[in-house]
Amino acid sequence: MPKMLVVDDEMGIRKVIKEYAEFNGFEVTEAEDGMEAVSKVKTQDFDIIIMDIMMPKLDGYSACKEIRKIKQIPVIMLSARGEEYDKLFGFEIGVDDYVVKPFSPKELMARVKAVMNRVQASQKTEDVITYEGLCINFTAREVTIDGEKAAMTPKEYDLLFYLVKNMNIALSREKLLEEVWGFDFYGDDRTVDTHIKMLRNSLGPYRNLIVTLRGMGYKFEKIK
């Protein structure tokens, strides 16, 4: 049974999410704030985390950063704030999806399923691709550059892996949003461009393997 951690200082919201999650086959653990969430992650394993942003003691963004230092667990953020800056900031620190309150519990569960499917699909890939000093290990979900492990956000890994799996294929920004983020109504071209810029910075000397297609999107050049 998959395990979910629900983090929100509002008991009513935790109760609704728990009810729908348990109906969908999850074992649910609750936390009232970010500090409690980090503490539970240190002692327990979870398959996915649903976490509010505005909480006492430790906000959702700060909690997510701390959790990423411990374990790589998919995170869906909940927030009453819907500004684009907030969403982009969340993606930059490794948030997998972003749901604005008030939300539909059924839609939230659909997003949970989509995020978990993407994670499971990436874990099933067994290929290791190398090019000069760049090594992309899909199984270990790890990228090394000239022998050093690259420090990338979960979304950068997702984006790189999708580009590499579709090597030398022209991919539109809309296609990348659909396949990597799993939705097309909260993100736009700037979301993709921002993450491409971050990914190129992470790849350092191999940044040019990601080619910009003017007016269209991007592609990962075929490695020979």
The domain of 162 spans 125-220
CA angle (113, 114, 115) in 5-degree steps: 95
Residues 78 and 174 in one domain: no
Q: pLDDT digits over 128-163, tens only?
A: 888 889 999 887 788 999 989 998 988 899 999 999
Domain C-terminal end among 122, 154, 170: 122
Indicate whether 101 and 8 sit together in one domain: yes
Residues 203, 147, single domain; the answer is yes
Domain shared by 8 and 115, yes or no? yes
Residue with tokens 């971050």: 198
> What angle is formed at CA 103 by the lines to CA 100 and CA 109, rounded to 5 degrees?
105
Give yes or no: residues 115 and 72 share one domain.
Answer: yes
The kind and range of the H/E element at 89 are helix 84-92
Q: How many separate domains does the chain show?
A: 2
Do 85 and 129 lie in one domain? The reply is: no
Q: For residue 88, what is the domain's CATH number?
A: 3.40.50.2300
- 81 has pLDDT over 80: no
Q: Give the pair of three-digit tokens for residue 212.
A: 């910009």
Q: Are residues 111 and 206 in the same domain?
A: no
> Which phi-psi region, left, alpha or beta, contains residue 204 (left: φ > 0; alpha: ψ -120 to 50)?
left
pLDDT classification of 44: cutoffs 50, 70, 90? very high
Residue of 174, 154, 188, 183 whose CA lies nearest to 218? 174
Within this chain, do residues 167 and 109 fall inside the same structural domain, yes or no? no
CA distance 9 to 7: 7
Q: What is the DSSP letter of 205?
A: G
Domain boundary pick from 99, 122, 145: 122
Least confident interval from 35-49, 68-82, 202-216: 68-82
Give the neighbor-by-neighbor strand order of the sheet with 148-149.
128-131, 134-137, 142-145, 148-149
Measure the CA dihedral 174/175/179/185, to 10°: 20
